[in-house]
A and B are shown apart, each in its own frame.
Chain A
Amino acid sequence: MSLTINMPVGVTDMSHHVHQLHMIIFWICVAIGIIVFGLMFYAIIFHRKAAGHQAAKFHEHTQVEILWTIIPFLILVAMAIPATMTLFKMDDVSDSYMTIKITGYMWRWHYEYVGTNVAYMSELATPYEQTINRAPKDEYYLREVDKPLVLPVGKKIRLLMTGNDVIHSWWVSDLAVKKDAIPGFINETWTLINQPGIYRGQCAELCGARHGFMPIVVHAVSEEEFKTWLKAQELANKRS
């Protein structure tokens, strides 16, 4: 099994932007760390009493102190610019192709395709025997649901979030979407998936005893496939 040590690049433009921001700030921190810790270890190695170093007497230096206040400030300003631009894009929910209403329940998700009669619960499908170690665990242990959320690729999907009982949080890291589902309030966000595939996540806000057991599976398919699927669902619901 390969070990993942970094944030996934993901499959949306936003997840790419976020990953980029993450890497920029990470490398800035690494660079600062190398300089600061480097200086400290230089002092530790050369300014030891055991190496015969005599203590100097200085204990302030106004110019240097002003400099190391201003330089970090400028670095932060440089960092804030791309972060702000990404934020504006993330918060722009206009021009969406369709809207899905996601409701968090203790402890399952409810998906409603707004404007259609398609709505269903989506809950953990991992057999309990696997949890209590009486059966071998599947590859997607605890990340398998009975009915995934099906979304078309290449279309901007508006997601409305709310909670039925306590606060939940809908998180799929490949989409770089995490939004709280708060009872009594509706949050909105959006996603535009570029690649068909199966993307997995789970509830991120502590919501009670089975908080760890309410996974999210997003099935991203082509637009035609999606339309066919939605039609079939609508028909089936009409009949029943």
Chain B
Amino acid sequence: MNEAVAHAEHAEHAAHYPQGIKRWIFSTNHKDIGTMYLWLSFTMFFIGGTSAMLIRAELFKPGANLVSPELFNQLTTMHGLIMIFGAVMPAFVGFANWMIPLMIGAPDMAMPRLNNLSFWILPFAFSILISTFFMQGGAPNFGWTFYAPLSTTYGPNSTDFFIFSVHLMGISSILGAINIIATILNLRAPGMGMMQMPMFCWTWLVTAFLLLAVMPVLAGAVTMVLADRHLGTSFFNASGGGDPVLFQHVFWFFGHPEVYVIILPAFGIISEIIPTFSRKKLFGYVSMVYAVSAIAILSFVVWAHHMFTTGMPTAGEIFFMYVTMLIAVPTGVKVFNWISTMFKGAMTFETPMLYAIAFIILFTIGGFTGLMLAIAPADFQYHDSYFVVAHFHYVMVAGSLMAIFGGVYYWIPKWTGHMYNETLGKFHFWLTMISFNVTFFPMHFVGLAGMPRRIPDYALQFTEFNQIASIGAFTFGLSQIFFLYIVIRTIRGGEPASAQVWEGAHGLTWTVPSPPPYHTFTTPPVIQDAHG
């Protein structure tokens, strides 16, 4: 360890990098780029969050209240797009940039200039996407799933800007994925085999392959939409010999693996946090790797469970029902492994651990409703109702977002060199956890009772639960401003963090000082204890 620190400090003195704005624009440093990804994600989280607040304000009571039905559809569309592509995915890439080189003892990402490009594409992509709000005819209004023919024949003019920005996001994701794969496969410190990597690296490696496989499919889907709109093709237009359902097949062939792009890195973060605060090695490392790979492979053959109501042949419904149910097996293995890691440990409950525990419970609830949705006959009742909205927010907010929060609290002492304030962190946790459930749990009820999703106004029987959900959502939103305050406060100062930061932390990350010098591991470290 001392050797690594000495080398790192030496590198610090030798580091010459541009100062001021140029440091960020021209950066090829994985830590700086990681930081930029995280701030981009945070910004998008607030923009996507603002649209969610407007949606919940409109739905606070029946009747036309705040926004027109036209604007409402734009808000739901942009909320989905911004949160998925702008908030969750860049956050995970930010974690990958910061942590993978530190975890595997690499001096930087394998392709630092590519890394710069893949980040800097994104601000432009999202500026284009968000600018559509101010265009004539408004922003895209067909849902983040942009089903044809609503997006082709009936899409607003801004649809073309949406297509272009999705292309840009896709390029960024593909470049980022290539970089992560190259880094993990080539830059591991001597002596660190694949099966000694921290679990976060494994989950990201699998995620990167998923991205490489499905981002081109999304690009294909938007290109076909573009061609239908402007080049006179009829991929999705029945009157020209096409098929609107073909769009859904292409989209969900991207869309379902995308769900795992959003959740697998979260699994990785949770698999880092739980052993640390249980002071016990991760249970079933090998089966975890197999489970992640199995989930990734299965994710390619379940897409049509999003389409049970489109009128598939019975054989198709049965196939997609069975394989979807099958995903519960490897997912269950992961949950059992986390609990076994905690079992007979010596647990403490700092904020990251609280988020990890909340993740396990709430994500599992999302998994249960996922299992219910897999049952095709029952899906005819659940499909496109608020039950689905509840389900995917349990997976994406309580799943991905809570893992991101946990990850920030877990690693921010390493990034900044300061401990966050534990009391404030716990307060943020409880606010988030409670308001999350107040927001999304009642959505199960209104969904089962018959409320469809994506409606700006509703029948009177849904009023009470919608009001509860809105109150929860406003609290959730405000809690995240409090989170911003905690982050800024930690960056500015706080108790100095040691290199190890957490008593139970193991691995190369925790051998470099907090904050780490600008360049770390310029000479490969000696591996003693690869994964904790």
Contacts and interface: CB of A to CB of B under 8 A. Distances in A.
Contacts of A161: 311
**Looking at chain B, what size class is its interface with the partner chain?**
35 or more
Interface stretch (B37-45, B98-106, B373-381, B422-430): B373-381
Contact of B332 (A68, A79, A203): A68
Contacts of B280: 55-57, 59
A176 interface: yes
Contacts of B342: 40, 43-44, 47
Given A43-B347, A131-B457, A142-B457, A76 B376 contact: no
Which among A22, A137, A206 has the highest number of chain B CB atoms within 10 Å? A206
Which among A6, A73, A139, A171 has the highest number of chain B CB atoms within 10 Å? A171
A167 B326 contact: no
B458 interface: yes
Interface in B141-194: 141-143, 147, 149-150, 153-154
B449 A5 contact: yes
Nearest to B248: A167
A210 interface: yes
Contacts of B371: 25, 29
B381 A50 contact: no
B361 interface: yes
Q: Is the interface of A mostly helix, strand, loop or mixed?
A: mixed
B64 A139 contact: no
Nearest to A143: B459
B333 A56 contact: no
Contacts of B453: 206
A17 B142 CA distance: 34
Q: Is the interface of B mostly helix, strand, loop or mixed?
A: helix
Interface in A155-170: 161, 165-167, 169
A72 B375 contact: no
Which among B62, B280, B333, B344 has the highest number of chain A CB atoms within 10 Å? B344
A211 B457 CA distance: 10
Contacts of B153: 165-166
B445 A4 contact: yes
Interface residues of A, number: 94
A212 B450 CA distance: 13
A4 B380 CA distance: 19
B448 A5 contact: yes
Contacts of B281: 57, 59
B321 interface: yes
B64 A132 contact: yes
B200 to A, nearest CB: 17
Contacts of A180: 309-311
B450 A173 contact: yes
Contacts of B377: 14, 17-18, 21, 83, 86-87, 90, 176
Nearest to B311: A187
Interface stretch (A31-39, A94-102, A113-121, A227-235): A31-39
A90 B450 CA distance: 20
B285 A59 contact: yes
Interface of B: 62-65, 68-70, 73, 141-143, 147, 149-150, 153-154, 237-239, 243-245, 278-287, 309-311, 314, 317-318, 321-322, 325-326, 328-329, 332-333, 335-336, 339-349, 357, 360-361, 364-365, 368, 371-372, 375-378, 380-381, 383-385, 444-445, 448-450, 452-461, 463-465
Given A6-B445, A206-B454, 7 more contacts: A5-B445, A47-B345, A49-B279, A72-B329, A86-B377, A87-B376, A131-B457
12 contacts: A4-B448, A5-B444, A18-B378, A40-B339, A55-B346, A57-B281, A73-B326, A79-B375, A80-B321, A132-B64, A166-B147, A167-B150
